[in-house]
A and B are shown apart, each in its own frame.
Chain A
Amino acid sequence: MRTDFTFVAVMMVAAVLMMGVALVGAALLRPKKPSKAKLETYECGMETVGDAWVQFRAQYYIFALIFVLFDVGGVFLFPFAVAYNSLPLYAVGILSLFILILLGSLLYAWRKGVLQWD
């Protein structure tokens, strides 16, 4: 039952407890006198017009997609890296090909003008 991850779980609970105590303690100590003006959204003194919950620009999603490409690539690369010492040279060649395909997709996105921020 006791694995290495037990400590991670324990640490999570401990951190939540510690930070929760800080938050609750502050909530007990501090004054609480809310007024309408205090609860307004801060906008350097201007009165807020409308809601801030707008749609993200499509470009962010494209960056997120390129990120997913490399992150999933990373999932394949790390097991390889751990086994690296016992692998022959041709395995390294195959993995180089894999990484070059990743690079190719990045270059494709670059050529398509996706990486241009405007």
Chain B
Amino acid sequence: MSVFEVINNILKIVGDAVAGLITSLLGAGALSEIVVMFIAAFVICGFCAVAFMAMTYAERKIVARIQDRIGPNQAGPYGVLQPLADGVKMFTKEDTTPATADRWVYNLAPLVIAVFALLTYAVIPFAPSVVGANLNIGVLYVIAVGSGSTIAIMMAGWGSNNKYSLLGAFRTVAQLVGYEVPMLLNVLPVVMLSGSMSLVDIVERQTLANGAHGIPFILMLPLSALIFLISGIAETGRSPFDLLEAESEIVAGFHVEYSGMKFALFFLGEYVNALAVSIMFAVLFLGGYAGPVLPPYIWLLLKAAAVFTVLMWLRGTLPRVRVDQLMSFNWKFLVPMSIVNVILVMVLAKVFVADPALAAANGGIAVSPGMQALILFVSNGVVLLSALGIVARHARQMRLVEAEDLEKRRAQNMLVAAKAVAQ
């Protein structure tokens, strides 16, 4: 018996004991069921809080290393107690509400962002049967709840009655709302290929059980995965898309006026959302909890940690984009490319069908799942490369026009100078 099996058994025994205790206290019925649900909900929220602390530490340490600094190293060995120290500080810090702020909106905003961030975790499958609620509209639910942070940031920016906050709120409307479109469009191919919006079913399609093909969707839809990751980073407002809280331009954007625990809740919301995007990427494109040897939840956390490492890496290396670049990148590049990609995947997966029974029923050429994956991979790559090619050609033309313009102006200046000398 391996270590993991022992841990699994202990968890199972503890869980059964708690459930049994509650049933014996309250009697079997709706009440005890709801109490058990509450305990599960608190466990998930607690997991998020612990993950939040671990992530702040990991991010500070790793970004510090990327930027050739040491990072936190005073509280405890290697600074591991830094998150706890921060927590104590946040708890005991004086908290002011600006006199001119809209008190209700201002004070509710941190609660709203934290609650919406935590709500995402109600549908995430941590292991085959360990899922809060296996909703049959899971993907749609995650996207819907994820956009709740837009409302919270809007509330914070507007309620503070501060010019920097308001600028942050303006940018939020433009950015978070806009980047939801490519996110939506790139979840679509995954839902089409797995035939379900339930996150459990999507993971099951990427495992070898129940006659599924066992190919993670990142190998079938690499372009969708890439755009999902980019729009996910923009949705959580992380660098290089952290315009809503750009320190060097608008101080801290929407949370300038917040301090103490309210600020901590904003911070928590941001990190919990970033983890949710990492986990969603792992679930949709990397096969979620599927994996050999190690237990499922370890696989999910490993995959999510890998994605989060990429997010940290991007944060440590890329400079912030400009607002106009941000908008053009979304509406003129990501969205058209996603639409073309969706149509291509839609048609190709219907023409080259992996399931022979479906091919017989609806027409189309029956191919092996590996062959279908290869076809989709190539079509994704072609879309990406041709989009990049179009952009490169356009940029070259722009540069040529600019160079011509410069040449013309230089000649004109020379002429003027020559005339002046002649006089």
Chain A residues within CB distance 8 Å of chain B: 1-2, 4-8, 10-16, 18-20, 22-23, 25-27, 29-34, 36, 38-44, 48, 51-54, 56-57, 60, 63-64, 66-67, 70-71, 74, 77-78, 81-89, 92-93, 95-96, 99-100, 102-103, 106-107, 110, 115, 117-118
Contacts and interface: CB of A to CB of B under 8 A. Distances in A.
Interface in B327-371: 327-328, 331-332, 335-336, 339-340, 342-343, 346-347, 349-351, 355, 358, 361-364
B119 A8 contact: yes
Nearest to B101: A41
- The winner among A6, A60, A82, A100 for most chain B CB atoms within 10 A is A82
B285 to A, nearest CB: 16
A6 B34 contact: yes
Contact of B95 (A7, A30, A57, A67): A30
B94 A32 contact: yes
B260 A26 contact: yes
Contacts of A52: 160-163, 165-166
B333 to A, nearest CB: 11
B332 A31 contact: no
B301 interface: no
B210 interface: no
B173 A106 contact: no
Contacts of A15: 41, 45, 114-115, 118-119
Contacts of A10: 34, 37-38, 41
B180 A67 contact: yes
Given A22-B261, A63-B177, A86-B358, A8 B164 contact: no
A1 B31 CA distance: 12
B38 A89 contact: no
Contact of A8 (B42, B45, B135, B140): B135
Interface stretch (B60-68, B75-83, B187-195): B187-195
A49 to B, nearest CB: 9
Contacts of A12: 115, 119
Contact of A81 (B163, B188, B332): B188
